[in-house]
Amino acid sequence: MSDMTRRELVGRVAVAAAGAATALAGAAPARAEAGGGAFTLPALPYAEDALEPSIDAMTMGIHHGKHHAAYVSKLNDAIAQAPSLKGRSIEEILRNINDVPEAVRASVRNNGGGHANHTLFWTVLKKGGAQPAGSFAKAIDAAFGSLDALKKSLTDAGMTRFGSGWSWLCVGGDKKLGVESSPNQDSPLMEGRTPILGIDVWEHAYYLKYQNRRNEYLAAIFNVIDWEAVGKNYEKAAG
Ligand code: MN
């Protein structure tokens, strides 16, 4: 092989590798970008109308493209004022929320929580849903008695959350499953627990279709919960 050919080949391999790196970065945009500290809005993993009729396309489009996008934008504004946070993942930042400089702590709590919560939310929904299996299914039975009992617990947590917030299935420090709710965009990460399923009970998540009927929204959302994806989150958090 001539030197010229070898140099050309090496150049092409480098270009291909750079392309692959770009594609990978695009696939995991929820993490802090290397060096930049800027967060980006992850693409929805399905079309805006994929979860019809449980979640209507207009709600999905506005929820993701306007609400979640605004959290990302305001989070980046806050991070720009707190250089010590640059390059850290949002999970790491929220787990150590009290270390965030006080001047931007409220903004990071609200907008960083909003970014992390919605990033999880999109990935635990799926057209047609999916059932829990394996060790996750056993853990549900051990902790709640049955999947139906877990759904009731999540629904109760969402219904009794006054105002805006979330209903959560979490893995605690003891690796056990638990249901809780949080106000606003607070994340269980701030309390040392790992959320593996989040259900958004802000009015913006359901008002266009269900108006004041949060109970109907909560009943419908279980048609599209991807318990298989939640199970993978469980393995990661409890394994
Ligand atoms: Mn929301």
Domain ranges of the chain: 57-123, 134-238
Q: Any idea which residue has 């799926």 for tokens?
A: 126
Confidence of residue 239 (pLDDT cuts 50, 70, 90): confident
Q: 57-123 domain in CATH 1.10.3720.10?
A: no
What distance in angstroms lies between residue 239's CA and the mean position of ligand 1's atoms?
29
What distance in angstroms lies between residue 202's CA and the mean position of ligand 1's atoms?
6
Confidence of residue 27 (pLDDT cuts 50, 70, 90): very low
Q: How far apart are the first and last CA of the chain?
A: 50
pTM: 0.85
Q: Using the predicted structure, report yes or no on whether residue 17 has a pLDDT greater than 50.
A: no
Nearest-10 crossing angle of helices 134-144, 227-238: 90
What residues flank ion ligand 1 with Cβ within 5 A? 200, 202, 205
What distance in angstroms lies between residue 149's CA and the mean position of ligand 1's atoms?
25
Strand boundaries in 65-193, DSSP class E:
165-171, 177-183
- How far, in Å, CA of 139 to CA of 133, rounded? 10
Residue 138 CB neighbours (<10 A): 11
CATH of domain 134-238: 3.55.40.20
What distance in angstroms lies between residue 19's CA and the mean position of ligand 1's atoms?
33
Residue scoring higher pLDDT (209 or 38): 209
- How far, in Å, CA of 162 to CA of 184, rounded? 10
State phi, psi for 111 to the nearest 5 degrees.
-85, -35
What distance in angstroms lies between residue 68's CA and the mean position of ligand 1's atoms?
7
